[in-house]
Amino acid sequence: MTSRTLAVAVTDGVPIFELAIPCEVFGYRRPDLTDSWYDFRLCAPAGERPRTAAGFSPETDHGLDALAEADTVVIPACHDVHDTQPPELVAAVRAAHDNGARIVSLCSGAFVLAAAGILDGRPATTHWMHADLLARRHPKVLVDASVLYIDDGDVLTSAGTAAGLDLCLHIVRTDYGTAIANALAKRLVMPAHRPGGQAQYIDSGTVIDDMDQLAPLLDWARRRLDQPLTIAALARQANVTTRTLIRRFHTVTGTTPMNWLRNIRVDHARELLETTTLPIDRIAERSGLGSPANLRRHFTRTVGVPPSAYRKAFSP
């Protein structure tokens, strides 16, 4: 697999955490995980040494014009969502998108993408505190404040702060497969997948209580993916009514119990395809998707390619 060029824009006042996320995930070569990794570049306005919100200046030899040469461009959170976004950065992002780059924003970096016009008519997310402002300022953007991140093909956006880690791991999973993404998540001491969306972090004691009560059930279900699991069975395990279970699932995960279960089963099938030589029918059984035809249908719908093509691309 060839190396992918990934560029991160650095401008004055960039929040340090959102800048550190892509540096940590993409900026270190990991030869024990894969022979190839990202060709990582920090890009700043030519002739300037921008200072982060923490007060220090990263050194780089790459100007913002280098964004247009990258395969993937990452825009961390902006300095202030109420300010006009830097015209040079907006123009560089637009040029990179026109040149075919995959554009990624973390947290309030979505305001830069929106200013560049590349979110018009697309679903996008940002920190829940800024979602209403993004929707008012850019009414053509289909803002969704309920999710941790959105992958819309060549444009990806994440919710607030730590959700940038979720999106960056998703990018690694897309580029290098589930096994490598899971191994990297373990090194970062974080889950490969976090259940739910931003709703669980908005000020609401009820939502937090639901998350606390639902977490053991999610773990219980993950350990039994090869078994028949119905809504009624999940409700009995959680000792609640099916109506209560459905409400809690939607609050915490943003989806229904069966949709969540299907997605988790597809993820397990991805890992089995990467790490084992099991035939397709055995993978369908172990992931709980039943028949090979059912596996192919759900896998292709979720991942975008059939299981055989995925195995060919990502198996050792």
Buried (b) or exposed (e) across 42-53, using 16+ Cβ within 10 A?
Answer: bbbbeeeebebb
> Can you give the pTM of this predicted structure?
0.77
CA-based angle 4:6:9, to the nearest 5?
170
pLDDT per residue as tens, the chain (316 positions): 445 999 999 999 999 999 999 999 999 999 999 988 999 999 999 888 889 988 888 888 899 999 999 999 999 999 999 999 999 999 999 999 999 999 999 999 999 999 999 999 999 999 989 999 999 999 999 999 888 899 999 999 999 888 999 999 999 999 998 889 989 988 998 877 665 555 445 443 334 444 556 778 888 998 999 999 999 999 999 999 999 999 888 777 777 899 889 988 998 999 899 889 999 999 999 999 999 999 999 999 888 889 999 898 887 6
**DSSP character at residue 167:** H
Reduced to 3 states, what is the DSSP secondary structure of residue 81?
A: coil
